[in-house]
Amino acid sequence: MIINHPLLGPRDSEEFVYLGSADLIDRPDWESRTVADDFHQYQYIRENIAGDNRELWYHEQGDQSWLLVTRNTLTHEIINVELAQDVSRSMGRGK
Amino acid sequence: MSNTRYSAFKVLKEALTGHKGWEPVWRDAEPKADGYDVIIVGGGGHGLATAYYLAKNHGITNVAVLERGWIGSGNVGRNTTIIRSNYLLPGNEPFYELSMQLWENLEQDLNYNAMVSQRGIMNLIHNDAQRDAFIRRGNAMLFADAGAEYLEAKDVKERYPFLDMDNARFPIKGALAQPRGGTVRHDAVAWGYARGASDLGVDIIQNCEVTGFNIENGVCLGVKTAKGDIKANRVGVCVAGSSGRVMAKVGIKLPIESHVLQAFVTEGLKPVMDNVITFGAGHFYCSQSDKGGLVFGGDIDAYNTYAQRGNLPVVEDVCSGGMAIMPIVGRARLLRMWGGIVDMSMDGSPFIDSTEIEELFFNGGWCYGGFKATPASGYCYAHLLATDESHEVATAYRLDRFRRGAMIDEKGVGAQPNLH
């Protein structure tokens, strides 16, 4: 698989480490009343989508950036690549 | 129904009478209009074993196994055929030891040649810390009556002189062996259980994809399929690899990701290894099939996927693992490689449990180790479906164990499915 890095252009997926679902950006509020449930969902439960999946890849052997890759889990086609920090900021979170 | 008993006498008789007396191994059924006591979703090894033990151990014979494609077309036909019960943790080891005992009697029980070969498995040790960890595991195995042996480096070298004992990075310092481990002809497991279940009255229905579940007031009343709605008092899902997709139809999210595991076989070679050998410093495991091919595998591809094929970086990784311990594989040509989709769970261990929907049960999360578990998985799932209680060796395999902090994490890597 070739991941089209927004800053560095097309890179082999072998340069990356895979973390998992992009939902992991949205860490629950630790002061919430439902914190135990929230963190159980966040840490352990997955959508495990068959189709377009939003996921986090880390460019370990490159510029060390986190990318948010939208990839089809049935065909391995990569549909979209964004910098995870841009997505995180657009959600009102820090980088 | 076949009811033909296989024996040497039967083979001889058929040889002399032109092989006219063989019958289909199992009965290809169509759904009954008035439904079933139990429907098993998924005609793989685990599903067929569940149906067999429901009928044999619990007398529940009004059972259907629904399979989307043909039986055994999933992971039971795609694995590297290894059986072993060399686990460390108390939640796992008695379960896998039950499985090993069922393997040992499988062929007599089913009257079917599954080529169970207890040729032994050898986990190589490469440093002192690993020796300590493996000896601890060996002791856990001895507690569970699974049997374990520690081999010195010289014993390993004597048995397998082709191993790269003095590799600069990964010297071989010894091995943890389980002499009762080995290999089984994987397709024959599906066929043998199908025959056993079919003979006891179970309907095996192929080309019958489950497209949904009929649920009223939180109770599962049956399934929607490609062949119409089928009623059932109880439904057991058993579709590891596709668990996410099937359970999404009832809105249940699982502590599971789907990943692809690749496997490989070389061209046929003369006999060179009469054992299963695993690399302790990377991920590589290898045995030699009866046809002579070296059957081997390694890590999963490590990204979510439902495609039954992997990518080349992992092929290179697996082959370099092989080269690090047995450079002779470098001279063999790869004959075939393929992939299977596995349920990678959050702690590397499986689930055999009820769900939040009444009369709907779940079996899955087998990671890349489901084949060796086939008999015990069916045995314990049948026990749960028949009695509403977990079998005593499967009490730890609950879906809520993460909420309770009762993970069964053999490798201790945490909630990162692609590392288990």
Interface contact A64, partner B, CB < 8 A = no
For chain B, say whether A2 makes contact (Cβ under 8 Å).
no
Which of B300, B330, B345 is the last residue in one of the domains?
Answer: B345
Residue B112 placed within a domain: no
List Cβ neighbours of B413 (8 Å cut-off, separation of 6 or more): B348, B419, B420
Out of B304, B306, B403, name the one closest to residue A55 (CB). B304
Are B341 and B352 in a shared domain?
Answer: no
- Partners of residue B304 in chain A, C-beta under 8 Å: 20-21, 48-49, 53, 55, 73
Would you say residue B110 lies in a domain?
Answer: no
Closest by Cα among A58, A21, A57 to A42: A21
- Please indicate whether, in this complex, the C-beta atoms of B307 and A73 are within 8 angstroms of each other: yes
Provide ipTM, 2 decimals.
Answer: 0.95
In this structure, are B63 and B75 located in the same domain? yes
B302, B160: one domain: yes
Candidates A12, A36, A74; nearest CB to B306 = A74
Give A13-42 pLDDT, tens digit per residue: 999 999 999 999 999 999 999 999 999 999
* B61 and B206 both lie in a single domain: yes
Asked if B173 and B265 sit in the same domain, the reply is: yes
Q: Per-residue pLDDT for chain B (420 aa), expressed as one digit of tens each?
A: 456 899 999 999 999 999 999 999 999 999 999 999 999 999 999 999 999 999 999 999 999 999 999 999 999 999 999 999 999 999 999 999 999 999 999 999 999 999 999 999 999 999 999 999 999 999 999 999 999 999 999 999 999 999 999 999 999 999 999 999 999 999 999 999 999 999 999 999 999 999 999 999 999 999 999 999 999 999 999 999 999 999 999 999 999 999 999 999 999 999 999 999 999 999 999 999 999 999 999 999 999 999 988 999 999 999 999 999 999 999 999 999 999 999 999 999 999 999 999 999 999 999 999 999 999 999 999 999 999 999 999 999 999 999 999 999 999 999 999 999
Contact predicate B367/B39, CB 8 Å: no
Nearest residue in A to B344, CA atom:
A48
Domain-located, residue B102: no
Q: What is the CATH number of the domain that holds B24?
A: 3.50.50.60
CA distance B379 to B390: 11
Q: Domain of B137: which CATH number?
A: 3.30.9.10
Number of residue pairs across A and B with CB atoms under 8 Å? Answer: 71
Of B322, B345, B368, the domain-final residue: B345
Same domain? For B287 and B171 the reply is: yes
Q: Is B150 found in the same domain as B130?
A: yes
Residues B37 and B54 in one domain: yes
Q: How many domains does chain B have?
A: 2
Closest-CA residue of B relative to A75 is B307
- For B:229-258, CB contacts with A below 8 A are 243-245, 248, 253-258
**Judgement on whether residues B206 and B133 belong to the same structural domain of the protein:** no
pLDDT in tens, B288-302: 999 999 999 999 999
Instruction: Please say which residue of B345, B374, B408 terminates a domain.
Output: B345
Range of B265's domain? Answer: 118-182+257-345
Select the residue of B253, B403, B418 nearest A47 (Cβ to Cβ): B253
DSSP string of A6-58? Answer: TTTEEEEGGG-EEEEEGGGGSPPPTTSTTHHHHHHHHHH-B---SSEEEEEEE
Specify the CATH number for A2-22+50-90; select among 3.40.50.10860, 3.40.640.10, 3.40.50.1820, 3.30.2270.10.
Answer: 3.30.2270.10
A22 to chain B: nearest residue by CA? Answer: B304
Hey, are the CB atoms on A20 and B416 less than 8 Å from each other? yes
Tokens of B139: 């002791």
Task: Say whether both B340 and B354 belong to one domain.
Answer: no
Q: Are residues B166 and B27 in the same domain?
A: no
- Test A76 with B313 for CB contact under 8 angstroms: no
Give me the pLDDT at residue B403, please. Answer: 96
Provide the 10 A C-beta neighbour count for residue B27. Answer: 17
Q: Are residues B160 and B297 in the same domain?
A: yes
